[in-house]
Amino acid sequence: MVSGFSDTHLELRKVVTEVAAREFAPRAAAREKSETFPRDHMKRLADLGFLGITIPEALGGPGADLYSFLITAEALARSCAATAFAYVIQEAAAAAILVGGTDEIKKQYLPGMAKGDVIGATAGTEASGGSTPLAFESFAAKTDDGYRLNGRKVFISGAGEADLYVIVAKTDREKGIGGISAFALDKGTGGLSFGKKEDKMGLGAVPAREIIFEDSPIKPSRLLGQEGGGVPVLMAFAGIAALGAAAIAVGIGQAALDQSIRYAKERVILGKPIATIQATQYKIADMFAAVEGARSLLYRAAYQRISGPPGPPAPVFAAKITATEAALRVADAAIQIHGAYGYSREFPVERYYREARALSIHFGINEVLRENLGKILLGLM
């Protein structure tokens, strides 16, 4: 058992796993094919008290801890990765509001996010430099009555479906990191529009679209934190998103392992189940080790975040890199165990592969995280 886990955590895992397997898994393939956003699943999770899981009780949420969020994301991903993906995005947006929002903003949005009435998304990525703050070109110019935002955000997950957007943009081009600010904008904000829906390899049920701002007016009350204080808000939602991506990856890896074990026992070639073949046994063993190793690193990172003082995000980066790449290897092995059937949509393992492939790119591309992790370990960052 992971250090810090309680009976409550274990019961949560059991309940979410059972609900997701019973209600979400049977529709996962059809939802992916139709690219239908899992708003109904989000509402169901809200009814069960699992949505916006770290939102404090005083603001209408369950008031649970980081473990509970990761346990839920992992359990959801075993049945429907798209639902888990939307769930993580919601939690990341809530984290940004909790860190930077005024009491007014928190009361306006967080109770609705916990109830599933308000769907949130975060928008940092730009074509000019990904999620690197200094490369942002979006600019919110100061006006007499607030700000005017111009610019574009790209590949924003949940764009068009979400009701609330946490936006990070420059407010001063001369101040470097100190010139970055964060805002909470409603979907109906003037001058806010959406580009085409990207035709993605996987996770099609959660759209990725461009968000376009053309002289979008922003009231001063929409500012999250102080002007120039956008990086702490960005780090808050990016940290939750990175850990959430790792949790989704662990869930997908576990699903691929479970499916492969079942198939290996049932598939008979030359009168024997392929489970009796040494090559299959080796693959299953390696898959198990990869999933368990990723899970251990994920919850170790969470434990350090919960129990220790804030510090460099090295464990978070390591967990995200390791878990997302392990999921891809495990899903690939699952396809190989299934043979030609693994390449067919008749079985879910080809979907697991496509879903896993997204996670080393989303919520912090792994190459950038590797570079930053190396700098942290060498004392250069």
Question: Are the C-beta atoms of 243 and 301 separated by less than 8 Å?
Answer: yes
Q: What are phi and psi of 216, to 5 degrees?
A: -70, 120
Gyration radius (Cα) of the chain, Å: 21
**Contact, 211 vs 121, CB < 8 A?**
no
CA angle 188, 201, 295 (to 5 degrees): 95
Q: Tell me which of 4 and 245 has the higher pLDDT.
A: 245
**Phi, psi (deg, nearest 5) at residue 19:** -65, -45
Handedness of CA 368, 373, 375, 376 (dihedral sign): positive
307 pLDDT tier (thresholds 50, 70, 90): confident
Q: Which two tokens stand for residue 66?
A: 């980081």
Distance (Å, whole) CA 43 – CA 111: 13
Helix/strand/coil for 346: coil
Query: DSSP secondary-structure letter at 277?
Result: S
Q: How far apart are CA 278 and CA 272, in angstroms?
A: 12
How does pLDDT run across 260-301, given as a tens digit for each residue?
999 999 999 999 999 999 999 999 999 999 999 999 999 999
| Mean pLDDT computed over 347-361 | 97
* 324 token code pair: 């997302």
Reported as a single tens digit per residue, the pLDDT across 204-216 is: 999 999 999 999 9
Residue 91, pLDDT > 50, answer yes
Burial (CB < 10 A; 0-12, 13-18, 19+), residue 379, is exposed
Q: Kindly tell me if the per-residue pLDDT of 3 is higher than 70.
A: no
Per CATH, the architecture of 7-119 is what? Orthogonal Bundle (1.10)
Report the C-alpha dihedral over residues 226, 232, 233, 235, rounded to 10 degrees. Answer: 170
The share of the chain scoring above pLDDT 90, in percent, equals: 93
pLDDT at 230 over 80: yes
Looking up tokens 């919960």, which residue turns up? 306
Question: Look-up: residue for tokens 């509402």?
Answer: 43
Quick: pLDDT tens for 8-61.
999 999 999 999 999 999 999 999 999 999 999 999 999 999 999 999 999 999
Q: What is the CATH number of domain 121-228?
A: 2.40.110.10
Question: Is the CB of residue 164 less than 8 Å from the CB of residue 185?
Answer: yes
DSSP state of 344: S
The three-class DSSP label of residue 367 is helix
Q: Give the containing element (helix H, strand E) for 122.
A: strand 120-123
pLDDT surpassing 70 at residue 2: no
By three-state DSSP, how is residue 238 classified?
Answer: helix
The CATH T-level fold of domain 232-377 is Butyryl-CoA Dehydrogenase, subunit A; domain 3 (1.20.140)
Does the pLDDT of residue 69 top 50, yes or no?
yes
User: How high is the pLDDT of residue 1?
Assistant: 44
Q: Residue 115 carries which DSSP code?
A: H
Burial (0-12, 13-18, 19+ Cβ within 10 Å), 311: exposed
Domain-wise residue ranges, the chain = 7-119, 121-228, 232-377
Task: Report the mean per-residue pLDDT for the chain.
Answer: 95
CA 175 – CA 255 distance, rounded (Å) = 47
The pLDDT confidence band at residue 128, using thresholds 50, 70 and 90, is: confident
Q: What is the DSSP letter of 60?
A: T
Distance separating alpha carbons of residues 160 and 145, to the nearest angstrom: 27
Cα 334 to chain centroid, rounded: 23
CA distance 107 to 104: 5
